[in-house]
Amino acid sequence: MPKLGMEPIRRKALVDATIVEIGRAGSLDVTVSQIAKRAGMSTALAHHYFGGKEQIFLAAMRHILSVYSAQVRAALMVANDPRARLEAIIRASFEAGNFRGEVISAWMNFYVQAQTSTGAKRLLNVYQARLRSNLLHELRPLIGQRAPDVAANIAALIDGLYIRHALRTAMPDGRLASDRVLGCLDMMLATPKGKAK
Amino acid sequence: MPKLGMEPIRRKALVDATIVEIGRAGSLDVTVSQIAKRAGMSTALAHHYFGGKEQIFLAAMRHILSVYSAQVRAALMVANDPRARLEAIIRASFEAGNFRGEVISAWMNFYVQAQTSTGAKRLLNVYQARLRSNLLHELRPLIGQRAPDVAANIAALIDGLYIRHALRTAMPDGRLASDRVLGCLDMMLATPKGKAK
Amino acid sequence: MPKLGMEPIRRKALVDATIVEIGRAGSLDVTVSQIAKRAGMSTALAHHYFGGKEQIFLAAMRHILSVYSAQVRAALMVANDPRARLEAIIRASFEAGNFRGEVISAWMNFYVQAQTSTGAKRLLNVYQARLRSNLLHELRPLIGQRAPDVAANIAALIDGLYIRHALRTAMPDGRLASDRVLGCLDMMLATPKGKAK
Amino acid sequence: MPKLGMEPIRRKALVDATIVEIGRAGSLDVTVSQIAKRAGMSTALAHHYFGGKEQIFLAAMRHILSVYSAQVRAALMVANDPRARLEAIIRASFEAGNFRGEVISAWMNFYVQAQTSTGAKRLLNVYQARLRSNLLHELRPLIGQRAPDVAANIAALIDGLYIRHALRTAMPDGRLASDRVLGCLDMMLATPKGKAK
DNA sequence: AATGAATGAGGATTCATTCAT
DNA sequence: GATGAATGAATCCTCATTCAT
What's the Cα-to-Cα distance from D35 to each of B82, C154, D11, D68, D99, rounded to whole Å?
Answer: 71, 38, 12, 22, 22
What's the Cα-to-Cα distance from C31 to each of C28, C37, C121, rounded to whole Å?
Answer: 8, 10, 21
Tell me if B113 and A195 make a contact (CB, 8 A cut-off).
no
> Would you call A137 exposed, middle or buried from its count of C-beta atoms within 10 A (0-12, 13-18, 19+)?
middle
State residue B110's pLDDT score: 87
Residue B159 at interface with chain A, using a CB cutoff of 8 Å: yes
Pick the range with the lowest mean pLDDT from A11-20, B106-115, D155-164.
B106-115
Measured in degrees and rounded to the nearest 5, phi and psi for residue B196 equal -60, 150
**Integer Cα distance of A129 and B56 in angstroms:** 37
State residue B197's pLDDT score: 44
Among D112, D128, D160, select the one facing C159 at the smallest CB separation: D160
What's the Cα-to-Cα distance from C134 to each of A139, B9, C126, rounded to whole Å?
Answer: 104, 62, 12
- How confident is residue C4, by pLDDT bands cut at 50, 70 and 90? low
**Integer Cα distance of D156 and D93 in angstroms:** 12
Tell if B54 CB is < 7 Å from nucleic strand F: yes
**Integer Cα distance of A28 and A113 in angstroms:** 8
Among B115, B159, B169, select the one facing A160 at the smallest CB separation: B159
Please report, to the nearest 10 degrees, the dihedral formed by the alpha carbons of residues A123, A128, A133, A135 taken in order.
140
Handedness of CA B53, B57, B59, B60 (dihedral sign): positive
Contact A181, A90 (CB under 8 A): yes
How many CA atoms lie less than 13 Å away from D155 in the CB half-sphere? 24
**Integer Cα distance of A127 and A120 in angstroms:** 11
State percent of chain A over pLDDT 90.
68
Which nucleotides of chain E does any protein CB come within 7 A of?
A: 1-21
* A5 Cα to chain B: minimum distance (Å): 37
Q: How far is the CA of A6 from the C1' of E18 (A)?
A: 22
Between helix A82-93 and helix A147-165 the angle, nearest 10°, is: 20
Tell me if C187 and D187 make a contact (CB, 8 A cut-off).
yes
A138 backbone φψ class: left, alpha, beta (φ>0; ψ -120 to 50): alpha
Pick the range with the lowest mean pLDDT from A41-50, A109-118, B32-41.
A109-118
State residue D133's pLDDT score: 95
The Cα angle at residue A131 between residues A129 and A134, in degrees rounded to 5? 105
Contacts of A149 (CB under 8 A, 6+ apart): B180, B183
What's the Cα-to-Cα distance from B126 to each of B86, B130, B131, B133, rounded to whole Å?
Answer: 19, 6, 8, 10
Report, as an integer, the average pLDDT of C152-179.
Answer: 90
Report, as an integer, the average pLDDT of C144-164.
Answer: 94
What mean pLDDT is reported for chain A? 90
Q: Judge whether residue C196 has pLDDT over 60.
A: no
**Integer Cα distance of C106 and D116 in angstroms:** 13
Q: Judge whether residue B180 has pLDDT over 50.
A: yes
Between helix A118-143 and helix A101-114 the angle, nearest 10°, is: 110
Tell if B112 CB is < 7 Å from nucleic strand F: no
Give the three-state DSSP class for C195: coil
Contacts of A168 (CB under 8 A, 6+ apart): A101, B115
**Integer Cα distance of C158 and B95 in angstroms:** 77
Which nucleotides of chain F does any protein CB come within 7 A of?
A: 1-21
Measured in degrees and rounded to the nearest 5, phi and psi for residue C126 equal -60, -45
Q: Which residues of A touch B114 (CB under 8 A)?
A: 166-167
State percent of chain B over pLDDT 70.
96
Report, as an integer, the average pLDDT of A105-115.
Answer: 85
* DSSP letter (8 states) at residue C177: H
Pick the range with the lowest mean pLDDT from A19-23, B166-170, C52-56, C111-115.
B166-170
**Integer Cα distance of C146 and A113 in angstroms:** 82
Residue B93 at interface with chain A, using a CB cutoff of 8 Å: no
Q: How far is the CA of A29 from the C1' of E14 (A)?
A: 12
Residue A31 at interface with chain B, using a CB cutoff of 8 Å: no
Tell me if B159 and A163 make a contact (CB, 8 A cut-off).
yes
Residue D83 at interface with chain C, using a CB cutoff of 8 Å: no
Contact A139, A86 (CB under 8 A): yes
The Cα angle at residue D165 between residues C28 and C132, in degrees rounded to 5? 100
* DSSP letter (8 states) at residue A80: -
Neighbours of D4 (CB within 10 A): 5
Handedness of CA C176, D107, D163, C156 (dihedral sign): positive
Q: Which nucleotide is nearest to A2 (CA to C1')?
A: F1
Tell me if A25 and B116 make a contact (CB, 8 A cut-off).
yes
Q: Judge whether residue C197 has pLDDT over 60.
A: no
Task: Name residue A28's amino acid.
Answer: L
* DSSP letter (8 states) at residue A30: -
Question: Which chain A residue has the Cα nearest residue B107?
Answer: A112
Q: Which contacts qualify for D174-182: CB closer than 8 Å, 24 or more apart? A: D174/D91, D174/D94, D174/D95, D174/D96, D174/D98, D174/D99, D175/D94, D177/D94, D177/D99, D178/D90, D178/D91, D178/D93, D178/D94, D180/C149, D180/C152, D180/C153, D180/C156, D181/D90, D181/D93, D181/D94, D181/D154, D181/D157, D182/D87, D182/D90
C43-68 pLDDT, tens per residue? 999 999 999 999 999 999 999 889 88
The DSSP annotation for chain B comes to ---TTHHHHHHHHHHHHHHHHHHHHTSS---HHHHHHHHTS-HHHHHHHHSSHHHHHHHHHHHHHHHHHHHHHHHHHT--SHHHHHHHHHHHHT-TTTSSHHHHHHHHHHHHHHTT-HHHHHHHHHHHHHHHHHHHHHHHHHHGGGHHHHHHHHHHHHHHHHHHHTT-SS---HHHHHHHHHHHHHHHHHSPTT---
Chain A neighbours, 3+ Cβ pairs < 8 A: B
A46-91 pLDDT, tens per residue? 999 999 999 999 999 999 999 989 999 999 999 999 999 999 999 9
- How confident is residue A103, by pLDDT bands cut at 50, 70 and 90? confident
Report, as an integer, the average pLDDT of B142-170.
Answer: 92
Give the three-state DSSP class for A97: coil
**Integer Cα distance of B58 and B50 in angstroms:** 10
Contacts of B61 (CB under 8 A, 6+ apart): B106, B110, B120, B123
What's the Cα-to-Cα distance from C92 to each of B94, C111, D35, rounded to whole Å?
Answer: 78, 20, 42
What's the Cα-to-Cα distance from D113 to each of C54, C60, C116, C121, C142, rounded to whole Å?
Answer: 20, 20, 17, 20, 41
- How confident is residue A113, by pLDDT bands cut at 50, 70 and 90? confident
Contact A14, A50 (CB under 8 A): yes
A148-170 b/e (C-beta count within 10 Å ≥ 16 → b) = ebbbbbbbbbbbbbbbbbbbeee
Q: Judge whether residue A45 has pLDDT over 50.
A: yes
- pLDDT values of chain D reduced to their tens digit, one per residue, 197 residues: 456 789 999 999 999 999 999 988 988 999 999 999 999 999 999 999 999 999 999 999 999 999 999 999 999 999 999 999 999 999 999 998 888 888 888 888 888 888 888 889 999 999 999 999 999 999 999 999 999 999 999 999 999 999 888 887 778 899 999 999 999 999 999 987 655 44
What mean pLDDT is reported for chain C? 90
Residue D152 at interface with chain C, using a CB cutoff of 8 Å: yes
